[in-house]
Amino acid sequence: MSAEIFCLSERRADADGQPAIDLRTAVDVAIRDLREIQANWGSELALKRLAECHSLLRTVFEAS
């Protein structure tokens, strides 16, 4: 099994301005981010990941 790892700060849009990440992958990334948020609850890192997770999911959802 292999996975493509996305750093949220490195998200790109394709030529049409659509996110270069599909909804399934976005959910997978969000689940991993939520685990990190839970492990670091209350820290600045957790708040940063929470904002990135929200932005990623909102962008992909609106494009779907």
Contact indicator for 20, 12 with CB cutoff of 8 Å? yes
Write out the two tokens for 51: 């904002």
- Pseudo-torsion of CA 45, 9, 7, 58, nearest 10°? 90
Predicted model pTM? 0.59
Residue 1 lies in a domain: no
* Count of domains observed in the chain: 1
Q: Is the pLDDT of residue 4 over 60?
A: no
Is residue 58 over pLDDT 80? yes
Write the pLDDT tens digit of every residue in 18-36.
Answer: 557 788 888 888 888 888 8
Q: Say if 14 falls within a structural domain.
A: no
Percent of residues, the chain, with pLDDT higher than 70: 70
Note whether residue 26 is domain-resident: yes
Q: Which helix (H) or strand (E) holds 22?
A: none
**Residue 30: what pLDDT?**
87
Question: Whole-angstrom Cα distance, residue 33 to residue 16?
Answer: 27
